Amino acid sequence: MDPRLMIGPQGPQLGGIALRSGSKATGLNKGLNFVDLFNQALTPANNQIRISAHAQKRLDERNITMNARLEDSLNSAINELAAKGAKDSLVITSEGAFLVNVPNRTMVTAMGLDEMRDGIVTNIDSVSMKYR
């Protein structure tokens, strides 16, 4: 077997590898391993909520504005739902009802409260009610 394909004590060790001064990798975060960098890339910055194109269209159609109060309510609900292990949840606020994918922190769709009175919501595992 080619020694370059061997891993562990039988294979050659990768020691003494240095980056050239003009290398692109010199700007990487030093001291972080792959897992840390991977998790950092997957975590939305500042726990921001992503809004899908479909949800943005529904927000516009229903004249629901994403203000700081609504964003705080949704962030709070998503954090609590994540702690409970929720996946797809309905968050009901005074501004409307929002279907969110909790692990991805993504708003999937938005409904006005008047639509919720007669509506049925399927494929969710939890509900959070955030009235302030």
| Domain map (residue ranges) of the chain | 3-42, 47-130
User: Which residue's structure tokens are 């003494």?
Assistant: 16
Half-sphere exposure of 28 (CA within 13 A, CB side): 15
Write out pLDDT tens, residues 53-108: 999 999 999 999 999 999 999 999 999 999 999 999 999 999 999 999 999 999 99
Q: How far apart are CA 44 and CA 56, in angstroms?
A: 18
Q: How far apart are CA 14 and CA 57, in angstroms?
A: 52
Q: How much is the pLDDT for 114?
A: 85
| Helix segments in 49-129, DSSP class H | 53-61, 68-83, 113-118
